Amino acid sequence: MVRMKIVWFFLYGLFIASCNSPKIKTMLASKETLQTKQDSITGYAPVNGINMYYEIHGEGEPLVLIHGGGSTIQTSFGRILPVLTQHYKVIAVELQAHGHTSDRNAPESFEQDADDVAALLKHLSINKANILGFSNGGSTTMQIAIRHPEVVDKIVVASGAYQREGFIPGFFEGFPKATLETMPQPLRDAFLKIKQDSAALKNMFEKDVARMMAFKDWNDDDLKSIKAPALIINADKDVITNEHALKMSKLIPHAELMIIPGTHGAYLGEICTAVPGSKLPEMTVAIIEEFLNKPVEEKKERE
C-alpha cells in the first residue's frame, strides 16, 4: 500500500461519453468564455480533437499552470493559485481526460499534452507565456519547450523527469498492480465532484497508468535543445531523485535548481501532501516569482 501511494504521488497532477458527439462539441465550443463571480474566465477550447478546459485569472504576464497526473487545477494548484493571480495572468488548464476536459480515442502522452497546450495558447491568441508544470505536468512543460519553443518564455519544472532512472528505486514496479482503489481519495473525490462518472474516472486512471508503464527515456539532447530559461524544483524526499533534478539543471543550458524540504508537491500545497500551517508554498511562490521576473539577459551569462 505504501508503494502504491508513492506511485500515485507522481500521477497526480472525459467529459461524459456524450461529449464526443458533434452536437455536444458544438455546444461546448460555443461556450468559449464564461465570467465567474471571482472575475475569472473559464471555457472550453476545441484543440486536437478534444474540448480542453481552461481558466484565466488575474492580469499581467501570461503564466500557464499544468497539473500532475490524475489531478485537476485545484488539487495541484489550489493553494498557490490565489497568490499567483495577484501578479500574473494565470492560464490554468486540465489535460486530456482529466477534470473537465474530454478524452480522445488515443493514449495519453507527454508529447500530445504539449501539443494540446500549445494549440490552446494559439486559440487564446497568447503568443508567448511562462509555463509552470508539476509532476507529470513538469514533464509536459519540458516537452512544450522542446516541441514548441516559439510559445515559451520561461519554464518552471516542479518534480518532473525525463528518464526512468530519475525515479526512486522500485517506482515502476508498482504500476502493474495499481488499481483505482490505490488512487488517493482526495483525487478521486475531486474528479467525481467535477464529473459524476465513475467510468470516466476509471478511464483516466487506466490511461495515466498506461502512460507511465510505457514511459521511455528521452535523449539528453532533447533537454540540451531547450532555449528557455528554466527553474528546476524538487523536494528532498521526492519521488524524483535529487540527482536527476541536478542532471536536468546541467543539461538545460539556462537552468537553475532549487531543492526544498518535504515530499512530492508539499512545497506547492498539493492536496495529498500539503502540510497544515506550512509556509513553504508561499516561499516557493516567492522564489518562482523572483525567477520569472529576472531579466533574461542575466541568464545568458551561462553561455
Which tens digit of pLDDT belongs to each residue from 69-88?
A: 999 999 999 999 999 999 99
198 in a structural domain: yes
Confidence of residue 38 (pLDDT cuts 50, 70, 90): low
302 in a structural domain: no
Q: How many domains does the chain have?
A: 1
105 in a structural domain: yes
Q: Which residues lie below 8 Å from residue 233, measured CB to CB, with a gap of 6+?
A: 156, 157, 158, 159, 245, 258, 260, 267, 284, 288
pLDDT score for 297: 65
Q: Which domain holds residue 224?
A: 2-295
Radius of gyration for the alpha carbons in the chain, expressed in angstroms and rounded: 18
Cell numbers for 84:
499567483
pLDDT score for 17: 25
**Full-model pTM:** 0.88
Q: Which residues lie below 8 Å from residue 8, measured CB to CB, with a gap of 6+?
A: 70, 178, 182, 183, 184, 187, 272
Does position 2 have pLDDT exceeding 50, yes or no? no
Residues 294 and 302: their CA atoms lie apart, in Å, by 15
pLDDT score for 251: 98
Closest CA to 46 of 56, 35, 36, 31: 31
Residue 51 burial (C-beta neighbours within 10 Å; 0-12, 13-18, 19+) = buried
Does position 61 have pLDDT exceeding 80, yes or no? yes
DSSP H or E segment with residue 259? strand 255-263
DSSP H or E segment with residue 223? helix 220-224
Per-residue pLDDT tens for 247-290? 999 999 999 999 999 999 999 999 999 999 999 999 999 999 99
Mean pLDDT of the chain: 89
301 in a structural domain: no
173 in a structural domain: yes
CB 113 within 8 A of CB 145: no
